[in-house]
Amino acid sequence: MHQELQPTLDFARQMDLEDPLKEFRSQFCFPRHNGKDAIYFCGNSLGLQAKNISGAIEQELKDWRELVVGGYLHAKNPWLYYQHNFSNPLSKIAGCKENEVTVMNTLTVNLHLMLLSFYHPTKQKYKIMMEAGAFPSDQYAVETQVKFHGFSPDDAIIEIAPKEDEKILQEDDIIEAIERNKGSLALVLFGGINYYSGQFFDLKRITAAAHKAGAIAGFDLAHVTGNVPTQLHDWDVDFAVWCSYKYLNGGPGAVGGVYVHERYAKDIGHTRLAGWWGNDEATRFKMEKGFIAKPDASGWNISTAQVFNMVALKASLEIFEQTNIASLNAKSKLQTGYLEFLLHQLSNINFEIITPKEPERRGAQLSLYFKEQGKEIHKRMMDSGIIVDYREPGVIRVAPAPMYNSFEDVFRFYEILRSI
């Protein structure tokens, strides 16, 4: 922190004045509450709509209206190559090469596709390790994948839980569990940031341990991409999937993101379920037998680009291009730190912050655990114009997004909480 933090509106406003990213806020639409902008701290669930999005959608509507099928080649952003627009901005956000990243489908679908490509269980090595309390969709995906291969979830899934009386996992325990299970472990799948606790795992260390154990390392980065910088290529991560509707502001159900390490992306023989959009563009329209994968991550594309499910993300990434993930994260650390500082001033509400204290072990989200009355307090927050979400059991997740939230938002949140 560049100065002593203070629980005052003047201080928060001064922080906003000094914020190099302060102009970005005006590029977003805020929901309203009693004639004022609501305090929107729910970008961990659904990011705000950027103002450039309606124009971008209108452009595609116009090209469809006027060019119809000609839009595949002659639209302002030709639909045939629409996915090309994402490789560069996403490679910078995810920390990988352009040929390692693509957009397609949605997160859970992509997780299934990646598991089909990377989970090749044998009699000896067939287990998947994940964090206990992983996002339910991931749990269902893994449960049904192991069954699909003829294994029993009780035996084939290893869940790593925090120690008794602790709410977060210790990295050493994860590494130790990977080493202990190396004889039977086929794949390690972690949520990069656990959706409930907000804990950011050490992806590099987990990947290295998985590889040492002869296992694949894959991650669900739904709460990471656009929030915390990653170096997926340098960390040697095998695959990752994420959604685009949280910190990437791509809109509800927006197209998902996929990363596959170059060593697989370039391997056109790598196992996958294919469709014509993943076929070499030069031969795609020859309509011939025999799939020839594109020699990059887009070789995993299956169907025609879903332009209307991608356009908002494209527009939103243009805003990311005006800054970078490192600057966003630098602001986020200050902002989340300020939120934490203010929460520590509150004595009228009984809660525990279960998210790790260390800035490098979390992103923009702080999870407040209420032993009692969490739901009622959440309702009172919502009634007072604070938009945050509640997750059973007992957690209110509070996530100031550095792209559009101000320090004043953080202070107003604290003031309202003080009066509850």
Ligand X SMILES: Cc1ncc(COP(=O)(O)O)c(C=O)c1O
- Binding residues (CB under 6 A) for ligand X: these are 106-108, 135, 137-138, 191, 195, 220, 222-223, 243
Measured between alpha carbons, how far is 64 from 361 in angstroms, rounded to an integer? 45
Min CB(105)–ligand X separation in Å? 9
In the bound state with ligand X, the residue whose beta carbon lies nearer, of 108 and 298, is 108
Min CB(243)–ligand X separation in Å? 4
Between the two ends of the chain, the Cα-to-Cα distance in Å is 29
Min CB(113)–ligand X separation in Å? 12
Measured between alpha carbons, how far is 338 from 320 in angstroms, rounded to an integer? 23
Which of 226, 245, 401 minimizes the C-alpha distance to 324?
Answer: 226
In the bound state with ligand X, the residue whose beta carbon lies nearer, of 48 and 342, is 48
CB neighbours of 303 closer than 8 A, spacing ≥ 6?
A: 104, 275, 276, 277
State the residue number with the nearest CB to ligand X: 108
In the bound state with ligand X, the residue whose beta carbon lies nearer, of 106 and 279, is 106
Q: Is 55 exposed, middle or buried (0-12, 13-18, 19+ CB in 10 A)?
A: exposed
Which of 112, 111, 105 minimizes the C-alpha distance to 255?
Answer: 105
Min CB(111)–ligand X separation in Å? 7
In the bound state with ligand X, the residue whose beta carbon lies nearer, of 85 and 105, is 105
Min CB(117)–ligand X separation in Å? 17
Min CB(228)–ligand X separation in Å? 14
Which of 314, 306, 276, 310 minimizes the C-alpha distance to 294?
Answer: 276
Place of tokens 């290893």: 158
In the bound state with ligand X, the residue whose beta carbon lies nearer, of 111 and 293, is 111
**Is the CB of residue 369 less than 8 Å from the CB of residue 378?**
no
Up-side HSE of residue 180: CA atoms within 13 Å toward CB?
Answer: 9
In the bound state with ligand X, the residue whose beta carbon lies nearer, of 135 and 338, is 135
